[in-house]
Chains A and B, each alone.
Chain A
């Protein structure tokens, strides 16, 4: 079982640019959640996708958007990047309840 995979591993962008992060869920999981984790903090919920729809959203601006594909994989898009968007972005997949996390994408905004 491959587990949750994310790409790319690392990314460096400049302020104002746009970025797309990708996630493939664990086999058998149909729900994908995205989190932002700043250094020294716990993960903060961005949103969750189920059946290709955004099911719930955390306290993040509209610059953060996402998509889920029919094969349950997902993308996180961030527009107009700010320095404060620098963080580890985590994808988690789940079936019923427990969320399993991928390795994360480290985004650095310069």
Chain B
């Protein structure tokens, strides 16, 4: 059973066209939900950690939100340099490993 499901798998946006990426999860006792950005052939780059429902975090054009079942990564007025794969991961309350989704591949067209 998948613990983390990300949608859509791929997303193409025009520059300036805002949108949201979804991460739904099924773990018992969420310890943390993490968003990463990954460029091709490179390691994931940390973006945000969210711990409890209702929490929000922002960084430049990105805003992450968390509910009891899912998280959203909102991208406002994206630029071509925002093109990357965005990964979501969850950590259960009693465990140490991260469970990753398969990611959303974002392409921003100039």
What interface size band does chain B fall in?
Answer: 20 to 34
B34 touches A33 (CB 8 A): no
A-B CB pair tally, cutoff 8 Å: 61
Q: How far, in angstroms, from A6 to B42 measured CA to CA in the complex?
A: 11
A103 touches B43 (CB 8 A): yes
Question: Chain A interface: which of B14-22, B65-73, B76-84, B97-105?
Answer: B97-105
A99 touches B98 (CB 8 A): yes
B45 touches A99 (CB 8 A): no
Is residue B26 within 8 Å, beta carbon to beta carbon, of the partner chain?
A: no
Q: Is the interface of B mostly helix, strand, loop or mixed?
A: strand
Q: How far, in angstroms, from A36 to B4 measured CA to CA in the complex?
A: 17
Is residue B91 within 8 Å, beta carbon to beta carbon, of the partner chain?
A: yes
A44 CB to closest chain B CB (Å) equals 8
B46 / chain A contacts, CB cutoff of 8 Å: 98-101
B36 / chain A contacts, CB cutoff of 8 Å: 101
With A42-B100, A42-B101 known to touch, is A97 a contact of B32 (CB < 8 Å)?
Answer: yes
B102 touches A104 (CB 8 A): no
A1 CB to closest chain B CB (Å) equals 13
B42 touches A104 (CB 8 A): yes
A56 touches B97 (CB 8 A): yes
A97 touches B91 (CB 8 A): yes
Please, what's the 1-or-0 string for B33-66, where 1 marks a CB less than 8 Å from any CB in chain A? 0101000011111100100000000000000000
**Pairs A–B under 8 Å by Cβ, sample size 8:** A6-B43, A35-B100, A43-B98, A98-B34, A100-B46, A101-B36, A101-B45, A106-B41
Report, nearest first, the 9 A-B pairs whose CB atoms are least far apart.
Answer: A42-B100, A101-B43, A45-B97, A101-B44, A56-B96, A103-B43, A104-B43, A42-B102, A43-B100
Using a CB–CB distance below 8 Å, which chain B residues touch chain A? Answer: 4, 31-32, 34, 36, 41-46, 49, 87, 89, 91, 95-103
